[in-house]
Structure 1
């Protein structure tokens, strides 16, 4: 098991170096996949919330996934939200983009990325 975890750590570090946040990104997360627990790696849901007001207009969340498994991605800004399924992460990189339009300044902003059970992947996202 230790050898498999070491390979995953090396893989995740390599993938983190491949991701660069898009120019103009307001917030970006470097990398998530899971956490080491007593029984090895555990699937972790990413839930990041920001209390900074977002201006009225269009906002995009880009999610990149390298590995295996699938993700459910949700972007909520104030009362507006959008959700989608990234059906399959890939060894190269799978990506999806969500758009949410707000008519007034809104808060909070919440990004939720829920991996399906058994997903082993490096996940990066940027909100612009």
Structure 2
């Protein structure tokens, strides 16, 4: 992934002013996710490197969608994913885990393997928020 992310063609409007929660503990990926989402017009909430901190943030503000790593600093995002689902917030998993109980418990959430295809991520978010 390049440090300078170009805007994704045709997707600028789909994420315009949408609040996207990013939960990721890998600094470089978190930075790339933030850049690509902002270039598509999103307002990034985070990135947050902890599931517990993300849960606390959700109690303070609402989000339109979320991008979640499944395992952040040794803790899984199960409770966070459950809370998002309960509030009908679309989520996408961006993870290196192919088979994990969080994915099995949330089969409707798309999952992108790492390294994340950033253009596909923006497309999936646009479709989810359509």
- Structure in which a larger fraction of residues adopt strand: 1
Structure possessing the higher radius of gyration over alpha carbons: 1
| TM-score normalised to structure 1 length | 0.31
| TM-score normalised to structure 2 length | 0.31
- Structure in which a larger fraction of residues adopt helix: 2
Q: Which has the higher contact order (CA 8 A, sep 6+)?
A: 1
